[in-house]
Amino acid sequence: MPRIAYVNGRYVPHRDASVHIEDRGYQFADGVYEVCEISRGYIIDMPGHLDRLDRSLRELSIGWPVSRKALEMILGEVVRRNRVRDGLVYLQVTRGVARRDHVFPPASVRPALVVTAKSTDPAVSARRAEAGVSVITVPDNRWERVDIKTVGLLPNVLARQKAREAGAYEAWFVGTDGKVTEGSSTNAWIVSQDGRLVTRPAEHGILRGITRGTVIKVAEQLGLKIEERAFTVEEAKAAREAFITSATSIVLPVVSIDGAAVANGHPGSVALSLRAAFFDVAEKCLA
């Protein structure tokens, strides 16, 4: 079965799916995106992802390419046409196609919309969670508006590649103050020695992860104490647990940081219980 993509109004096989060479996403990274998890045929936390998309678009003065309702239908349609039961749906909106010029094109230029979906094996991610993952730390060299989910991801790509080359799963960005901001595509958390969940406030320096928001709700239901504050690399290394969250990884225990084991080097019980309860709390929309 060929994979099907949605490109500006049409559902097309991947081999025929293309955008113009003067798409501003291609030339300027002038666009935004969202990734939603699909679990057992449900799109997870879609309202939260579309609210964040709305915010990203507004921050950059890019219009909605289609109505929110239409986009919800397109996401479902792409998931169904690709017969994805477990996996991811990706959407990208750029400022559209115009002769290359830094200045915004005229209002008549329509934003461009691409949607793709792919299947992933839930057993692989379950095994990853059972084993835990390693992270390395890298200096945070990104721009200041990382709260906007733009397709300008070069620092994130380089950080993630560095992690891969070091045999680690994720790279944590660290600010000049020695405090962890977030992962290349995940939010970072620790469980302090006195059992509190610690994660950076989502005001500056990080993307407000949708999974992060749902995990806060899960933690509240489990009666855990949450402290929204930044933490240092040293604090993370000395923590009782560490973990990462994102739509693609849900909750993944971190068992080593820059080669140093976190606690006993095994996934912690808090991270695993947050992961286990996640889908009971997350919003599920049938695709």
Decide: 262 and 191 in contact? Cβ < 8 Å: no
Decide: 111 and 95 in contact? Cβ < 8 Å: yes
Dist. CA 137–CA 129, nearest whole Å: 20
Binding mask 243-272 for ligand PMP (x = CB under 6 A): --xxx-------------------------
Binding mask 13-42 for ligand PMP (x = CB under 6 A): ----------------------x-------
Shortest Å distance, C-beta 51 to ligand PMP: 11
Q: How many CB atoms lie within 10 A of CB 59?
A: 14
Answer for which of 31, 111, 209, 268 binds ligand PMP (CB under 6 A) is 209
Q: DSSP letter for 225, please.
A: -
Answer for which of 38, 182, 252, 255 binds ligand PMP (CB under 6 A) is 182
Shortest Å distance, C-beta 48 to ligand PMP: 8
Binding mask 142-171 for ligand PMP (x = CB under 6 A): --------------x---------------
Give the DSSP letter string of 1-63.
Answer: ---EEEETTEEEEGGG----TTBHHHHH--EEEEEEEEETTEEETHHHHHHHHHHHHHHTT--
Cα–Cα separations (whole angstroms), residue 91 to 81, 144, 240: 15, 23, 37
Q: Which is nearer to ligand PMP, 36 or 98 (CB)?
A: 36
Answer for which of 8, 94, 116, 211 binds ligand PMP (CB under 6 A) is 211
Shortest Å distance, C-beta 6 to ligand PMP: 20
Name the catalytic one among 69, 149, 237, 284. 149
Residue 217 bears catalytic tag:
no
Q: Does 134 bind ligand PMP (CB under 6 A)?
A: no
Nearest Cα to 60, choosing from 33, 100, 32, 25?
Answer: 32
Cα–Cα separations (whole angstroms), residue 195 to 104, 252, 285: 49, 18, 33
Nearest Cα to 221, choosing from 130, 268, 286, 282?
Answer: 282
Token pair of 146 as six digits:
């990382």
Q: Does 212 bind ligand PMP (CB under 6 A)?
A: yes
Q: Which is nearer to ligand PMP, 32 or 98 (CB)?
A: 32
Shortest Å distance, C-beta 140 to ligand PMP: 10
Q: Which stretch binds ligand PMP (CB under 6 A): 63-71, 112-120, 239-247, 276-284?
A: 239-247
Residues binding ligand PMP (CB under 6 A) = 35, 156, 182, 185-187, 207, 209-212, 245-247
